[in-house]
Each structure stands twice: as structure tokens, then as C-alpha cells.
A = this chain, B = another copy of it.
């Protein structure tokens, strides 16, 4: 393959590895999430974004942007989670178009449990392959990709 700029090959390889690594991790997570918590990986992130948002709530379009999915998908994801009580619906007095998705107490609890599974699986992936220092390097480098967006879930808890 030919590259036009000196760093093109580096871009190419880094992006390839990023995507392949993430696929692998996501694959590992989905099994445990489904069997232990009855959640999909996307539902996990759904709850994560709410947890980190002010008042534990977000509008559906904002949630859609952060999850990189269509707004209609948020509508349809929220429905069953309302039924099981993980989230609730809230309207805005000033703007009747808005309908927030709000994380409930049960949703918060569910998220805490899922976080344990997430950490456990992340451990399986990373441990023995990286030293602490290297892992921090990796984290810091990756952070530049997500730090700009408002949907960065990895910032320190306030």
C-alpha cells in the first residue's frame, strides 16, 4: 500500500488497531452484561451517560449524540428501561418539546453492579499485558480522542 504523507501509515495502523481492540473488548463485555445484568453494552453506556450528567438526566437527542446512535434508537431503548424502572421520563416546563431521560435509584444501583463486571472484564483484558505505567500512557493518549466531546465518561468523579 502506498502512503501520501509520512505519517499516513502510522494513522492507518493506529486506527486499525483501535477498532480491532475495541471490538474485542466489546465482545467480551456483552456476554457478561447480558447474562448477569440483563443489559446490552449500549444500555450500559446509556446509563453511564445519565449518571455523569447534571441532575442525572439528559434529553434524548443529547443522549443520541453521545451514544453515536439515531434519536429513534434512544426512544426505543428508553421504553423498556422505563418499564423496568431503571429510568424515568421528565418534561421541561419551558420547552414542551423536551423530554428528559432521568436515571432512577434502581438505575443507579444497576449501574454500580454493572461497573463491577465492567472492571472485571477490563482487568482480564489488560492485566499481565501492561504495567501500570503503560496503562496510564494508553489512557492518556486515548483521552485526547474523547476529551473534547461532552460525552467523555472517563473524567474523574466530581
Chain A interface mostly: helix
Which of B12, B23, B129 interacts with A118 by CB under 8 Å? Answer: B12
Contact A145 to B24, CB < 8 A, known contacts A1-B115, A115-B1: yes
Which chain B residues lie closer than 8 Å to A15 at the CB level? 25, 118, 121-122, 125-126
The reply to whether B145 and A8 contact each other, CB–CB distance below 8 Å, is: no
Minimum distance in angstroms from A37 CB to a CB of chain B: 16
A111 CB to closest chain B CB, in angstroms? Answer: 10
Min distance, Cβ A69 to any Cβ of chain B, angstroms: 9
With A1-B157, A10-B139 as known contacts, state yes or no: A145 contacts B125, CB within 8 Å. Answer: yes
* A96 close to chain B: CB less than 8 A: no
- The verdict on A98 contacting chain B, using a C-beta distance below 8 Å, is no
> Using Cβ atoms and an 8 Å threshold, which residues of chain B touch A26?
19, 68
- Are A145's CB and B12's CB within 8 A? no
**Which one of A54-62, A87-95, A99-107, A130-138 is at the interface?**
A130-138
- Contact size range, A: 35 or more
The answer to whether B14 touches A122 (Cβ under 8 A) is yes
Q: Across the interface, do A13 and B139 meet the contact criterion of CB distance under 8 Å?
A: yes
Partner of A142, one of B10, B11, B27, B138: B138
Shortest Cβ gap from A152 to chain B (Å): 7
Chain A 130-158 interface residues, beta-carbon cutoff 8 Å to B:
130, 132, 134-139, 141-146, 149, 151-154, 157
Known: A15-B126, A16-B154. A149 touches B118 (CB 8 A): no
